[in-house]
């Protein structure tokens, strides 16, 4: 399986990092070794001093497809989840300064905690609330109506370049409020009122 992630998909988050608003989705990948499942803890790596949380809605691809038409894109995912796109902001800033790829800042071991996946049927995907708490304090509070590129546009766009396969996961971008984590922290991520993911930082 592969993990495809979208950067800069919420205007307020673009502003907080002083990034430019993209004309097309910003796409990067994480390897399968980035996955953390079943609320497994995250071990703070020694190569960074500034790991940030980014809470994001996930799509789970349910069948193979490429060059997917946007109007059929909804047929390629039945389930959604919530995940954290851990980012080594210090390494990413160095890469960005030099115009280099971000992989080491985004795809390191454990950089992709994901929740269980749940049926999309009971949700309005165009108006979905999601949030992240750090040690009980609300830090990020997003709504999918604020995405620059909605889910179906993302699926159509990335499938031009990468054949999507059953089990692939798409991270759809983070709202504003990203911030650093520290050893001992407890992160909790919610879709609407339901807590679906917990990560302890060790």
Residue 167: CB partners within 8 Å, gap ≥ 6?
1, 60, 61
CA nearest neighbour of 192 among 113, 122, 116: 122
CA distance 187 to 198: 6
140 binds Mg ion (CB under 5 A): no
172 binds Mg ion (CB under 5 A): no
**CB nearer to Mg ion: pick between 27 and 118:** 27
CA nearest neighbour of 12 among 189, 191, 187, 173: 173
Site for Mg ion in 97-126 (CB under 5 A): none
Per-position x/- string for 62-91, each x denoting binding to Mg ion as judged by CB under 5 A, each - no binding: -----------------------x------
Please state the closest distance from residue 193 (CB atom) to Mg ion, in A: 23
Residue 189, strand partner residues:
132, 197
152 binds Mg ion (CB under 5 A): no
Residue 88, strand partner residues:
51
**What is the H or E stretch that residue 182 is in?**
none
Which stretch in 49-57, 64-72, 154-162, 178-186 sits in contact with Mg ion by CB under 5 A? 49-57
Residue showing the smallest CB distance to Mg ion in the complex: 85
CA nearest neighbour of 26 among 90, 115, 92: 92
**CB nearer to Mg ion: pick between 115 and 174:** 174
Please state the closest distance from residue 58 (CB atom) to Mg ion, in A: 11
Which positions lie near Mg ion, rule CB under 5 A?
54, 85, 174
């Amino acid at each position: 399986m592969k993990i495809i992630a979208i950067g800069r998909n919420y205007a307020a988050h673009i502003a907080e990092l002083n990034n430019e608003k993209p004309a097309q989705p910003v796409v990067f990948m994480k390897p399968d070794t980035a996955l953390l499942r079943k609320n497994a803890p995250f071990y703070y790596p020694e190569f960074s001093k500034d790991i940030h949380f980014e809470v994001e809605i996930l799509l789970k691809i349910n069948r193979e497809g490429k060059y997917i038409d946007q109007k059929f894109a909804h047929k390629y995912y039945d389930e959604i989840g919530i995940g954290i796109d851990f980012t080594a902001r210090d390494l990413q800033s160095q890469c960005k300064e030099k115009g280099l790829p971000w992989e080491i800042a985004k795809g390191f071991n454990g950089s992709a905690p994901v929740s269980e996946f749940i049926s999309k049927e009971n949700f309005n995907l165009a108006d979905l609330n999601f949030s992240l708490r750090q040690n009980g304090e609300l830090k990020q509070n997003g709504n999918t109506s604020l995405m620059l590129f909605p889910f179906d546009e993302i699926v159509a766009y990335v499938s031009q370049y990468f054949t999507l396969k059953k089990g692939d996961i798409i991270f759809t971008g983070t709202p504003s409020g990203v911030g650093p984590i520290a050893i001992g922290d407890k992160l909790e991520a919610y879709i609407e009122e339901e807590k679906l993911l917990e990560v302890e930082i060790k």
